[in-house]
Amino acid sequence: MSRERTPQPPLAAGPTSPPGLVAEPLRDWIRTHTGISITDQNQAPVELAVRIEAERHGLDPTRYLQRLLSGGLPPQAFIDAVATNESYFFRSQEQMRVVVTRLIPERLARRPGQPVRILSLPCARGEEPYSLAILCEEHRIAPHSVQLVGGDISATCVADAGRGRYSPLALRRTDPELARRWFTPQGSRAWQLEPALLPRVELRRLNLLEDAEVVLARRFDIVFCENLLIYFDPETTVDALAVLGRLLVPDGWLFVDHAEWNIPRGAFRMQEFDGCVGFRPLGAPAADASESGSRAGRVAVADAPSRGASTAPPTQLPAPLTTRASGPAVSPVSRPLPRPARAAPAAPLRGSALTTHLAQAQVHYRAKRFAEALSAFDAVLTADPGHPLARLGKARVLADCGEDFEALEIAESLLHGTAAGGLNLAPADQVETLVLMGLLLHKKGLKDLAQGYLREVKRHDPHHPSLGLLRPHRPGDADA
């Protein structure tokens, strides 16, 4: 979408929307229904969700909100619209490696005939539990030896997980050989997970804070609750941890993302095990005789380290197997996953290194190497989270990979930040951001909303090629 640039006056934040849409009543509603805490910093995607859902219902945003907040509309669609579903296969690869090579086989050895129960909550579109299913297969752990359950508050995500169809971005950290074994390309933009794996994961729509305990009604040996607590305020985090504690067996393991390691320690203690960090219920044995006692030197109660840059390499391949058929439960300890190089705490990119990464990202993007482009944009954003060009670049990659809502969120927040004077986005890039918003909304069938953005584009660049989608002005158009 790049083109010749001419200087333009500053732009507005896109079509005008009623002020104060994301006010306290809506923030309360979201916290009550999901636990997610909305602040001034993360409200732009919520505003976008309001506008999209309002248009879908044929209501103006204020009226839509009145009906939603008064219980006049079912809440699920809006919950799905505000949840951030970003995930990818083998995201928490260190923890998965330990689960598959140590925790599962050692529990199976200790409790013959009793399956190891693993919960992935939230599971987004199934990337996490299916990663575990793949690793179990690769390590010839019999299906009946492990019960995998995936839950998420988003009904859309759970339905998508059931189909097992993914954009290339979901495989961005997957070794190509592993991808070849477990996914089938569907054109150039989608990958279908091996259908035999789909029934390995029991999928549920679950709200961790509301119905997870009642619906699941059983305990798990291992719970992955990655990249959820980060969206909660401290009070809600304490509630969530209490639920997680009740979902775990007394000697269970809880895994959270490293950005969440500073969780309050009321009910859990942090424990390092075989190079990975997990949390154990307070009553759990400090050094579990079978899981870690034999390697006592490797077990340590640790303080939360600071967050490292997320520049993990692609998942390393386990030893290849000749067949996917599962045999009896065998201990894979003798055939461990090669240990991936630890995500090196990369030195933050600065100055020319940052410019080089940005340039590389653009080159990858133009060559349609989307996974590489995303990694390079992410590296820039790790160093400078507000970097406008990296954010615009990331939004374009996401849009090209079909991750429309994530792309819309970034584009909207870019325009919002620009209007608030917070981001230094050049006028031509602002136009490109408006174009991206217009095209994405058009693609999602939200044509009236798209027209507002395209008209804004026309005001600043009357010859922009995207204006082919702009229909002639009609008298009822609000923001012409």
Ligand X SMILES: C[S@@+](CC[C@H](N)C(=O)[O-])C[C@H]1O[C@@H](n2cnc3c(N)ncnc32)[C@H](O)[C@@H]1O
Residues making contact with ligand X (CB under 6 A): 34-36, 83-87, 91, 121-122, 124, 128, 152-154, 157, 206-209, 226-228
| Nearer to ligand X (CB atom), residue 216 or residue 454 | 216
Q: Which is nearer to ligand X, 91 or 139 (CB)?
A: 91
Cβ proximity to ligand X, 137 vs 406, nearer residue: 406
Q: How far is the CB of 434 from ligand X (least distance, A)?
A: 27
Q: Write down the least CB distance from residue 266 to ligand X, Å.
A: 19
Q: Which residue, 123 or 423, is less far from ligand X as judged by CB?
A: 123
CB of 376 vs ligand X, minimal distance in Å: 20
Nearer to ligand X, 83 or 411 (CB): 83
Specify the residue, 410 or 439, whose C-beta has the smaller distance to ligand X: 410
Number of residues written out for the chain = 480
Minimum CB distance to ligand X, residue 315 (Å)? 14
Q: Where are the alpha helices (DSSP H) in 35-167?
A: 44-56, 61-69, 76-82, 93-98, 104-110, 127-138, 155-163
Euclidean distance between CA atoms 327 and 136, whole angstroms: 11
Q: How many angstroms separate the CA atoms of 51 and 26, rounded?
A: 13
Q: Which is nearer to ligand X, 42 or 85 (CB)?
A: 85
Closest CA to 34 of 49, 21, 20: 49
Report the half-sphere exposure of 30 (CA within 13 A, side-chain side).
28
Shortest approach of ligand X to residue 84 CB, angstroms? 5
Provide CB contacts within 8 A for 377, sequence distance 6+: 358, 361, 390, 391, 393, 394, 397
Q: In angstroms, what CA-CA distances link 283 with 253, 268, 279?
A: 12, 9, 12
Rounded CA separation 117/290 (Å) = 18
Furthest C-alpha separation in the chain: 77
What's the DSSP call for residue 354?
A: H
- Lookup: tokens for 272: 């390092």
The minimum distance between CB 79 and ligand X, in angstroms, equals 8
> What is the residue type of 465?
P
Specify the 3-state DSSP secondary structure of 310: coil
CB of 82 to ligand X, least distance (A): 9
Least distance in angstroms from the C-beta of 449 to ligand X: 23
Nearer to ligand X, 88 or 365 (CB): 88
Partners of residue 115 on adjacent β-strands: none
To the nearest whole angstrom, how small is the minimum distance from the Cβ of residue 337 to ligand X?
19
Main-chain dihedrals φ then ψ at residue 247, nearest 5 degrees: -80, -10
- Give the C-alpha separation, 65 to 29, whole Å: 10
Among residues 47 and 160, whose Cβ is nearest to ligand X? 160
Contacts of 276 (CB under 8 A, 6+ apart): 94, 95, 97, 98
Strand partners, 220: 248
